[in-house]
A and B are shown apart, each in its own frame.
Chain A
Amino acid sequence: MLIAVSASLFALGLLGVIARRNVLVMLMCMELMLNGVNLSLVTFAQQTASAAGAVLVFLVFVVATAEIAIAIPIVLLLVRRKAVLDLDAYTDLKG
C-alpha cells in the first residue's frame, strides 16, 4: 500500500516537473519526487529490518539539500537577468 503511495508521489512530482511553467514550482516538484523515493526506501527498510535503506534515505536528504542550495542561487541569477520565472523564457540557453 505504501509502495503505491510512493509511486503516486513520484508520478505526481514527475508530472509537475514536466507540466508546470514556474521554475520554483518545478524545483519543489523535484523535491516531491525525492520524497516519493524516500517513502519506498523506508518501507523496504522497515520490511527487511535492515539499516541500509535508512542510511540511503539519509544520503538522499543530504543530496536534496545540496541540490536546493545550488539550484536556488542559479534561479536567482536567471531571474535577475530576465525578471521572468517561466522556464520557456530561457530556451536561448540551449546550446
Chain B
Amino acid sequence: MIETVLLWLFAGTALAAAALMLVLRHPMRVALALSATMLSLAGVYALLGVHVIAIFQVLIYVGAVMVFMVYAIMLLDVRDYSFARRYSWLLLPGAVAAIAFVAILAHGFWQSLPDQATGGGGPLFGVQQFSIEFLNEYWLHFELVSVLLVAAVVAALAVLEVGRRNRG
C-alpha cells in the first residue's frame, strides 16, 4: 500500500519536474529540475526493487553528469536573448510532434501490453547477482564500454586541443 503511494508520488514528482524544465528560464534552475527528476526516478527504481540501477542513477547521473552540467552553466553565464525568448520558432511543430508521439505510443501499447504488476523485483537485482550475471553473460559489452570511454576521453582531449590551437 505504502509502496504504491510512494511510487505514484515519485513518478508524479518526476513528471512535474520534467514539465518545469520546459518552462524555467535560467539554465541553473533547469539543471535543478532535472536533478529532481533523476532523484525521483532513482526512488522509482528503488521501489521497483532494482537497487543497483537506483544507486547508479544517483552516483552517475546526479553525481557526475549533473555536477559537470552545473559547472558548465557557471562557466558560461552568458545572458543573451535566449533568456528573454525561451522558445524558438519550432515551439508549435515541436508540441505537435510530442503530442503525436505520445498518442502513437499510447495507441500501440493499449493493445499489446499485458496488465502490469509492480513491486518485488526479487533477488535478481541485488548487487552480487547483477555483477555475476553482468560479467558472465555480458563481458563483451563491458569491454566495448571501456573502449567507448577511452574514445570519449581522446575525443574530449582532441576538442580541447582544437580550441587551444585556435586561440593561438
The residues of A with any CB-CB pair to B shorter than 8 Å are 1-5, 7-16, 18-22, 24-25, 27-29, 31-32, 35, 38-39, 42-43, 45-47, 49-51, 54-55, 57-59, 61-66, 68-70, 72-77, 79-81, 83-89
Contact = CB atoms under 8 A, between A and B. Distances in A.
Contacts of A77: 159, 162-163, 166
Given A9-B37, A59-B141, A85 B82 contact: yes
B48 A43 contact: yes
A10 B100 CA distance: 12
Contacts of B137: 51, 55
Q: DSSP majority for the B interface?
A: helix
A80 B163 contact: yes
Given A51-B124, A85-B80, A20 B86 contact: yes
Tier of interface size on chain B: 35 or more
A11 B124 CA distance: 31
A58 B130 CA distance: 11
B156 A73 contact: yes
Contacts, number: 227
A81 to B, nearest CB: 8
A12 B167 CA distance: 38
B156 A24 contact: no
A70 B72 contact: no
B21 A39 contact: no
Given A51-B133, A85-B82, A24 B101 contact: no
Given A1-B116, A51-B130, A69 B94 contact: no
Contacts of A80: 163, 167
B97 A14 contact: yes
A3 to B, nearest CB: 6
